[in-house]
Amino acid sequence: MVRLLPLIVAVPLLGAALLVALGRHVRRAVAETAGCACAAGSAALAVGALVLTHGTAVTWAGDWRPHHGAGVGIVLVGDRVGLGLAALTSLLVVAVLAYSWRYFEEPPRGHAGAFPALVLLFQAGMCGFALTGDLFDAFVFFELMGAVGYALTGYRVEEPRPVQGALTFGFLNSLGGYASLLGIGLLYARTGELGMAQTGRRLDAAGGPDALVTGAFVLLVTGLLVKAAAVPFHFWLPDAHTVAPTPVSMLLSGVMVELGVYGVARVHTTVFAGPGGIPAAHFRRTLLVLGVASALTGAVMCWQQRHLKRLLAFSTVAHTGLFLTGLALMSDGATAGVCLYVLGHAGTKAALFAVTGILLDRYGSVDEHQLHGRGRGAWRLGLLFALGGLALAGLPPFGTALGKALVEEQADWLPLLFVPVSAVTGGAVLRVAAGVFLGAGPVPEERPGRQETAGDEEKPETGGLLRWLPAPMITVAVLLLAGALAVGTIPGLAEGTATAAAAFGDHAGYLAAVLDAHHSTPAAEGEWWTGPGVALGLLSAALAVALAVPAVRRLLPSGGWTGPLRRLHSGHVGDYVAWTVAGIGLLSALTWW
């Protein structure tokens, strides 16, 4: 079974290659079925590996196994977290391909399989990134998901906005990727290794960290933080997620951004967590500052949006901030909580995007103001959307709530951040749900002269407007939300996550498993719902409702004080590049002193 790990990456690649090679000769239905089958095959492999193997599955591509810890090959490491993310990615890709069944009006001429092929390549990039244990290989897969991601984001070329968002995405991600590669180059200069485990071991042997290790760390995580959309590297995310085709937004927000967070944690625990790496206090400080800043910025900006997809995109920034904050604690319990939170968030956020996509295709708009009251008939859709909002806010027993509760237990001050941030993002979604599906409150008046992105110019992605709700779309949304619910209700999953998190944070254990084939399974108690956890979840859900109700009635101040922050999100590539290098400077300062 372990030998088959590379197939998780290879199967979608083969599917994409065949779809392109035969694209001119097959009908669209065949191409889409084949795409789904490949994605599902890869998902089955990932889930199978997760169930059938124990501990950390290690396999060397080309059978280039190391001797006495020194080798020349690339290792794939299917530890619980990596395999779990590969499985999550693959399952989400299956859901997305099912959702986009016959989605776009017509595929590019002669390329019936172009969209599924791109999605499969995206899947391969993400799975490869989750599984690889080699720094440069991670860069390659990082670039694969990037390159395909830009193309997918700009897929609807007839409209002006998607191409602009995709271009911003492309510039910033490439810049981040090159910074990462410089970091890899610096590490190679010091250690002469590319494998994460090998690099970590050499650094530990070399003694304490110096400026080179710090510099390598900063540059390396810059790329990953760009992917993770941490403030001030986040500017591309709202622009890209706002305009990407809805199925693509589901993937971008659901897993790709989270993979950036995973990359930061993975690189840190394997390479920099030992005595030769970055001092724990410095790492904690860096991640905390960025995490808190992202959570607050995301929440504030999310509340201000009227473009539904942009609103959801900023909520992703906020939640990424929470994930980073959780990881900054560097405890197994917090990591386990973050893992569950990511799982729950993926289901919830993808479901919310799915519903938004249906709205767009049915009513031709994703603008909160324009849609006001127009969704009155679609109570099922409204229910889904509201449930998604509550899940985002952290209503037990959704997986988001369980993850949030587990993290909050780790320190007394954490609820002060987690509760308001999740309440504001959930509240924003509830505000929209009440306005659109219930027609509650007065019709919002236009505020001319305000710098904002409205959602009334978006075009439906299905050719014409839909007259009824397509069954596959609704089903996918329901299943995704059910998945988020399952994360919080299946005790086995929480137990498995606890074990996974303990192994994930074990620097020495990872090195031994990869280089010495020495496997140890750290014991870990699975945490479960506790009284305070449930109470905090209920509190943030209640807060979300409490925020949404006056907002719908226009009783809240308009938030003019956020003007400067909004102006920073200018949509200007030059600005964003400037912020990205400023971010490198900030990271240096945080890690150095």
List strand residue ranges (DSSP E) for 352-510, in order. none
CA geometry: angle 186, 191, 192, nearest 5 deg: 90
Q: How far apart are CA 401 and CA 343, in angstroms?
A: 11
Q: Are the C-beta atoms of 388 and 481 separated by less than 8 Å? A: yes
Nearer to another protein, 170 or 321 (CB): 170
- Using CA atoms, how far apart are residues 149 and 250, in angstroms rounded to an integer? 12
3-class secondary-structure state, position 75 = strand
In the complex, minimum distance from the CB of residue 132 to another protein, in angstroms, rounded to a whole number: 8
Three-state DSSP class for residue 244: coil
**Residue found under tokens 């308009």:** 558
Which position has the token pair 């009251």? 373
Between 204 and 409, name the residue whose CB sits nearer to another protein: 204
Shortest distance in whole angstroms from residue 332 CB to another protein:
31
Judged by beta carbon, residue 208 or residue 373, the one nearer another protein is 208
Helix axes 160-191, 211-228, angle to 10 degrees: 160
Tokens 């399989």 found at: 113
| Shortest spacing between CB 540 and another protein, in angstroms | 26
538 vs 577, beta carbon nearer another protein: 577
Of the candidates 399, 420, 418, 421, the one whose C-alpha atom is nearest the C-alpha of residue 410 is 418
Nearer to another protein, 161 or 380 (CB): 161
Shortest gap between Cβ of 459 and another protein (angstroms)?
Answer: 12
Of 97 and 390, nearer to another protein (C-beta) is: 97
Q: Is 400 or 588 the residue whose CB approaches another protein more closely?
A: 588
| Helix (H) or strand (E) run with residue 338 in it | helix 332-363
Minimum CB distance to another protein smaller for 247 or for 583 = 583
Instruction: Kindly state the smallest distance separating residue 247's Cβ from another protein, in Å.
Output: 14
Does the bond joining 275 to the residue before it have cis omega, within 30 degrees of 0? no
Nearer to another protein, 134 or 527 (CB): 134
Looking at the Cβ atoms of 391 and 513, the one nearer to another protein is 513
| CA separation for the pair 185, 179 (Å, rounded) | 10
Distance CA 186, CA 491 (A): 44
192 vs 491, beta carbon nearer another protein: 192
Q: 535 Cβ partners below 8 Å, 6+ apart? A: none
Q: Which lies closer to another protein via its Cβ, residue 306 or residue 349?
A: 306
- Distance (Å) of CA 101 to CA 36, 380, 470: 9, 21, 10
> How far is 125 from 286, CA to CA, in rounded Å?
28
Minimal distance, residue 435 CB to another protein, in Å: 19
CB of 512 to another protein, least distance (A): 20
The encoded tokens of residue 349 equal 């956020």
Question: 454-481 burial, b for 16+ CB within 10 Å, e for fewer?
Answer: bbeebebbbeeebeeebeebbebbbbbb
Select 404 or 569, whichever has its Cβ closest to another protein: 569
Instruction: Return the CA Rg of the chain.
Output: 22
Minimal distance in Å, beta carbon 68 to another protein? 11
- Residues 6 or more apart whose CB falls under 8 angstroms from that of 83 comprise 46, 49, 50, 53, 57, 130, 131
Find the shortest distance in angstroms from Cβ 579 to another protein. 6
Picking from 316, 297, 302, 537, the residue whose alpha carbon sits closest to that of residue 407 is 537
Minimum distance from residue 45 beta carbon to another protein (Å)? 12
Quickly tell me which residue has 């059978």 as its tokens.
63
- The pair of structure tokens assigned to 321 is 């901030």
Least distance CB 299 / another protein (angstroms)? 16
DSSP 285-298: HHHHHHHHHHHHHH
Question: Shortest gap between Cβ of 177 and another protein (angstroms)?
Answer: 8
The DSSP string of 409-426 is TT-TTHHHHHHHHHHHHH
Q: How far is the CB of 162 from another protein (least distance, A)?
A: 8
